[in-house]
């Protein structure tokens, strides 16, 4: 009977470091061999990492768009207030003269 390999468990930190090595320009097979992993497993980790990164980027972009929209509304409100104050100043200037 063949010896069964026990399933290895890797920490999230180990996975992130392995993926970082691949993203830094080293080949997938080189990093996998170095760490004693299969290229398929490392490829899966890379895909998961990139998907998680794109989700974070999307959330960040949506937050920035919401902030931009809020600031545009604020600018519009302040411009309207400024216009009202200029008109009021003109009215009071006519009354004084």
C-alpha distances (whole Å) from 94 to each of 30, 76, 85, 88, 97 are: 82, 28, 14, 10, 5
Domain boundaries, position 86: 12-96
Q: What is the pTM of this model?
A: 0.57
Say if 7 falls within a structural domain. Answer: no
The token duo for 73 is: 């509304």
Give the model confidence (pLDDT) of 85-94 as tens digits.
999 999 988 8
Of 72, 21, 77, nearest in space to 45 by CA: 21
pLDDT tens, position by position, 64-87 = 999 999 999 999 999 999 999 999
Tell me how many domains the chain contains.
1
Q: Is the pLDDT of residue 1 over 80?
A: no
**What CATH number is associated with residue 49?**
1.10.10
pLDDT tops 60 at residue 52:
yes
Q: What is the mean pLDDT of the segment spanning 4-10?
A: 84
Tokens of 46: 């890379």
Query: What is the Cα–Cα distance from 87 to 93, expressed in whole angstroms?
Result: 10
């Amino acid at each position: 009977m063949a010896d069964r390999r026990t399933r290895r468990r890797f920490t999230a930190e180990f996975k992130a470091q392995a993926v970082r090595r691949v993203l830094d320009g080293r080949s997938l097979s080189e990093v996998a061999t170095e760490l004693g992993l299969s290229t398929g497993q490392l490829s899966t980790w890379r895909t998961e990492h990139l998907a998680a990164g794109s989700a974070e980027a999307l959330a960040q972009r949506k937050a920035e768009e919401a902030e931009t929209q809020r600031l545009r509304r604020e600018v519009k409100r302040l411009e309207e207030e400024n216009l009202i104050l200029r008109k009021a100043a003109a009215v009071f200037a006519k009354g004084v003269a």
